[in-house]
Amino acid sequence: MKARIAVLPGDGIGPEVVAQGLRCLRAVADAFGHEFALTELPFGGAAIDLCGDPLPESTLKGCLEADAVLLGAIGGPKWSAPEARVRPEQGLLGLRKALGVYANLRPVTVHPALLASSTLKPGILEGVDLVFVRELTGGIYFGEKRRDAHSATDVCTYTVAEVERIVRVAARLARQRRGKLVSIDKANVLETSRLWREVATRVMRAEFPEVSLEHMLVDSAAMHLIRRPRDFDVLVTENMFGDILTDEASMLAGSLGLLPSASLGEGTRGLYEPIHGSAPDIAGQGIANPCGTILSVALLLRHSLGLAAEAAALEQAVSEALASGARTPDVAASHDRALRTEQVGEAVLDRIRAG
């Protein structure tokens, strides 16, 4: 098949990990006979430096014309001064809104070879396989913001339609997996959460009676993610809760650098990125973990291009590379055995080429 993919390397370690993701994407294209047109575009802090806008019109146009968008990471101290009026994160929020991607899928699995990489006991981690579905375009991040000399306000708003559509995404996913959905809110305190719980209950009863639904308060969910993560299948929650909980859940796998994400809307076009940030403290050192980006490429193949076999082959290549000991310092058994970013990418490439 032929496909157009917009590539946004971004800031910090973004360009380093995206480079390895693109190497693997090209290898998959060669192995399976596909043709992918890749267009690199400025985004985030790099775009601010270039033209003063984190999301230039040319970048947005390229993303809207593409079949999928691959993003590295954005942000860093250079653009985070409190008085800054233009920030890289504004570009990300704007891109998500323009693409209409409202459902953020963040799968978390624990590789058997990396059980010792987490700070949790291996017995708690064995068999963990869960997926977060985070609402991405509503809530407090997008609400009205006000500030004066004496106070500041961030408004959290959700509509019935926004809750309905994200719950349906999560329920369909749960139906394909183990049939268990946990909806996370703060309904004992927040009106938005009371609405969320009521709508989720109604949608599940009317449309997905075969999927079990459990409501859980966000503070309880945070505790149980560490106490009994193996019990979870699919978890759905609002924007800010999902942002926080998925970073917590990444520690189950041992490192932020291991985990991918897919942001999806009504069509097939999606935005794919590792869940980690730009990590300016290690940028340019060649030690960033590329696995989250490579696995995001696999999600791109599966969800936007409909290439399930190719996605599975890439995921298997990553798994085999990790099992063989190809690991960056964040998950290496010891520092002297750690590989560089490019070496881990090469280890994955070797397994793709081997078929």
Residues for the chain: how many in total?
A: 355
The DSSP secondary structure of 146-180, one letter per residue, reads EE-SS-EEE-----HHHHHHHHHHHHHHHHHTTSE
Residue 183: both structure tokens together: 């909806």
Tell me how far CA of residue 337 lies from CA of 3, 218, 222, 326, in angstroms. 38, 39, 33, 9
- Is the four-CA dihedral 274, 16, 283, 337 of positive or negative sign? positive
350 in catalytic set: no
Active-site residue, 233 included: no
Q: Which residues pair with 65 in a beta bridge?
A: none
71 strand-pairing partners:
8
- In the residue annotation, 336 being an active-site residue is answered as no
Q: Is 243 a catalytic residue?
A: yes
Tokens 């006991």 appear where? 121
Measure the CA–CA gap between 100 and 217, rounded to whole angstroms. 28
CA 321, CA 345: separation in Å to the nearest integer? Answer: 9
Which residue of the set 129, 154, 180, 243 is catalytic?
Answer: 243
Q: Name the DSSP class of 85.
A: S
The reply to whether 186 belongs to the active site is yes
The residue from 186, 233, 272, 330 that is catalytic is 186
Alpha helices in the chain (DSSP H): 14-32, 45-51, 57-65, 88-99, 122-125, 160-176, 191-207, 218-227, 239-253, 291-303, 308-323, 341-354
Residue with tokens 């994160």: 89
Catalytic residue among 78, 141, 154, 350: 141
Catalytic residue among 78, 154, 180, 247: 247
Sheet holding 180-185, edge to edge: 35-40, 2-10, 68-73, 270-274, 260-264, 103-109, 129-135, 234-237, 180-185, 212-217
Q: Which of 30, 49, 219, 281 is catalytic?
A: 219
Catalytic residue positions, numbered:
141, 186, 219, 243, 247
